[in-house]
Chains A and B, each alone.
Chain A
Amino acid sequence: MEIIKFLEAFTSDNLLARTSSRRAVFGTFGTLGKKAALAAIPFGLATAPSRTFAFQDQNAAIGALQLALTLEYLEAEFYIKALESGVLPSGSNAEAIYEQISKHETAHVDFLMAGLGDDAVDSPVFDFTAGGMFDPFNENGTGQEVAYAQLLALAQAFEDTGVRAYKGQAGNLMGTPFLTPALQIHSVEARHASEIRRLRARVMEMDLDQNMLGWITLNERGPGMPEATQAVYDGEENVIQGGVNLVNATNFDNIAVSQSYDEPMDGDTASAIAGLFIVS
């Protein structure tokens, strides 16, 4: 049974082996302490309750985790390269924020690789210029200022995509021990997304408005966001939840209602967005 393989993959030995090989690939980002890893993994599994209803399709669960891993590869490599690029001012709050996010994304890669075991997909080869559209690491002479703006814009787009993509896969993980850890990653991505918005607003010296507090308004990508990122926000304008039109049910407008709920994104849409940055 595939699910047994899943569970076996979560043994400590496997985790450490995977973590080590991952480190070899990514170089010096050894943020995951061995003792911490040993302590944390069984805890995650221990919190998963026994189920009284059938497991979902195991292939769907594996597919969900493989998509998640692909998105985490994208984020992890993006933040590592961002920190190496010299675009972020040394010693700035922005650098500290990117360090913290980078730590989490690399940990997510390790965690999902360990969870998937033999089903783990390899990292794609990424091109963060998206075929020359961007130059977030200032490798092609766009200049520090523009590169910094793109570095922040892409971070916001990646984080908001992550939030929506995990949400879209929750149903495929129902009844598996991976639902709770996936939810725990999902809310970390949301914390990141919130922080990047406020950081962007400060760095770009934007006027204070609804788009820079930390949540998504309607389907607005927000000021300064490239049009290429619009797919990340399409559908976020929804105001009907569980059949209840919350504009009608409350005294609040569609701005506040849309902000109150983040919308899921299906796997195809998430793959298409990630695909903009994937060479092979």
Chain B
Amino acid sequence: MKKIPVKVNLRESSNTRRQFLKIGSLAVVGTSLLLSCNNDDDSGMTDPDDVFDLGSGDLGILNYAYALEQLEAAFYTSVLDGSYWMSAGAEEKLILEDLYKHEVIHREFFKAAITAAVNGDSSKVLPELEFDFSSVNFGDRNSVLATARVLEDTGVAAYNGAGAYIQTPDYLVIAGKIVSVEARHAAAIRSIYMDDPKAFAGDEIIDANGLDLAKPPSEILGAVGQTGFIKTEFTANQLPEE
């Protein structure tokens, strides 16, 4: 079945239209988005030919991970520039500083690894994305930690869900090396942010078989699109849908 590019646009306004994160699957995005797309005349949109597509196969998965790591790195960069972090308690401050470092290191890894994998053909490497974190209050502990919790749990779910699509054993192992660190982060953020001592691996995320979240790229990109954090438009037309 031919896939139809969908433009995810949650805060549409008539004049200043946000850049859209496009994803390839209709099913997971939701009816309201579908409607807004169907009524869209595309005026003011970027020419689809100019929009970066993540690609197919392992390249697509690597670019997908690179997008998520760019998002996390950009978020924690803003956290460390914010007034909440400046005055946070010692443990929280150290945890968030480490998360910043780790996510930047992950981001730089994907940039280097993808560039090497495509023999330096930059047209196949996801460009540096632009972000809009105006909905996060970096002076407010709750706003920062609630966002961090979502990003870390999403990272775990994304890597767990992408693993089965990876075809090169070395990439699978590297994804495994990263996802457990994301899970360590998620547990840390949960335990400093949430009151329940069991929140680090709470029942709302770990199922009755003791399994963590795992979500396909389409679902993750749909959820990320809804945050409005990513300004730069890109498509994921060749990634698996479920």
Contact A246/B108 with A187-B180, A188-B183, A191-B187 known, Cβ cut-off 8 Å = yes
Specify which chain B residues have a CB less than 8 angstroms from the CB of A259 in the assembled complex: 98, 101-102, 181
> Chain A residues with Cβ under 8 A from B173's Cβ?
167, 170-171, 264
The answer for the CA separation of A41 and B159 in the assembled complex, in Å, is 20
Q: Is the CB of B160 within 8 A of A183?
A: yes
Given A183-B214, A186-B179, decide whether A213 and B98 contact each other with a Cβ distance below 8 A.
yes
Q: Are A192 and B172 interface neighbours, CB within 8 A?
A: no
Indicate if the CB atoms of A263 and B177 lie closer than 8 Å: yes
Interface string of A203-237 (1 = CB under 8 A from B): 00000101001110000000000000000000000
Whether a CB of chain A sits under 8 angstroms from the CB of B185 is yes
- Interface 9-mer from A107-115, A139-147, A149-157: A107-115
When distances are taken between beta carbons in the complex, the residues of chain B under 8 Å from A59 are none
On chain B, the residues within 8 Å of A32 by CB distance are 208-209
Chain A residues 18-40 with CB under 8 Å of chain B are 31-33, 36-37, 39-40
Shortest CB distance A74–B (Å): 15
Are B109 and A242 closer than 8 Å at their CB atoms?
yes
Residues in A neighbouring B169, C-beta threshold 8 A: 171, 174
Does A262 reach chain B (CB closer than 8 Å)? yes
Indicate if the CB atoms of A244 and B112 lie closer than 8 Å.
yes
B207 near A40: Cβ-Cβ < 8 Å: yes
Q: Which of B164, B166, B181, B197 has the most CB of A within 10 A?
A: B164
Chain B residues whose CB sits within 8 angstroms of the CB of A67 once the complex forms: none
Nearest chain B CB to A105 CB, angstrom units: 7
Where chain B touches its partner, the secondary structure class is helix
Q: How far, in angstroms, from A239 to B213 measured CA to CA in the complex?
A: 28
Given A47-B161, A171-B169, residue A111 in contact with residue B116 (CB < 8 A): no
Q: How far is the CA of A49 from the CA of B170 in the complex (A)?
A: 19
Given contacts A97-B198, A256-B101, A264-B177, contact A244 B113 (CB under 8 A): yes
The answer to whether B209 and A179 touch across the interface, beta carbons within 8 angstroms, is no
Q: Could you say which of A1-9, A123-131, A193-201, A272-280 contacts chain B?
A: A193-201
Interface presence of A190 (CB below 8 A): yes
Q: Check B106 against A260 for contact (C-beta < 8 Å).
A: yes
B210 A214 Cβ-Cβ under 8 A: no
In the bound assembly, the distance between CA atoms of A246 and B191 in angstroms comes to 29
Contact of A191 among B104, B178, B197, B201 (CB under 8 A): B201
| CB within 8 Å of A: which B96-127 residues | 98, 101-102, 104-106, 108-109, 112-113, 116
Say how far B238's CB is from chain A's closest CB, in angstroms.
Answer: 14
Q: Which residues of B from 144 to 194 have beta carbons under 8 Å from A?
A: 156, 159-161, 163-167, 169-174, 176-188, 191
Q: When chains A and B are docked, how far (Å) is the Cα of A256 from the Cα of B167? A: 29
Contact A213 B181 (CB under 8 A): no
Q: Given A242-B170, A244-B109, are A96 and B160 neighbors across the interface (CB < 8 Å)?
A: no
Give CA–CA (A194, B72) in the complex, Å.
Answer: 19
Q: Would you give the shortest CB distance from B165 to chain A, in whole angstroms?
A: 6
**What is the minimal beta-carbon distance from B209 to any residue of chain A, in angstroms?**
5
The interface residues of chain A lying within 8 Å CB-to-CB of B201 are 100-101, 104, 188, 191-192, 195
Interface segment among B22-30, B45-53, B74-82, B87-95: the answer is: B87-95
Instruction: Give, as a whole number of angstroms, the nearest-CB distance from B175 to chain A.
Output: 8
A to B CB contacts below 8 Å, 13 in the list: A53-B167, A104-B206, A163-B180, A180-B163, A180-B214, A184-B212, A185-B210, A210-B98, A244-B112, A244-B116, A260-B178, A262-B176, A262-B181
A-B CB proximity, top 7 nearest:
A36-B208, A107-B210, A190-B183, A184-B211, A190-B180, A194-B184, A104-B210
Q: Could you list which residues of chain A lie within 8 angstroms of chain B, going by C-beta atoms?
A: 31-33, 36-37, 39-41, 44, 47-49, 53, 93, 96-97, 99-101, 103-108, 110-111, 163, 166-167, 170-171, 174, 179-181, 183-195, 198, 208, 210, 213-215, 241-244, 246, 249-250, 252, 256-257, 259-264
Interfacial residues, chain B to chain A (CB-CB below 8 A): 90-91, 94-95, 98, 101-102, 104-106, 108-109, 112-113, 116, 156, 159-161, 163-167, 169-174, 176-188, 191, 197-198, 200-202, 206-214, 216, 240, 242
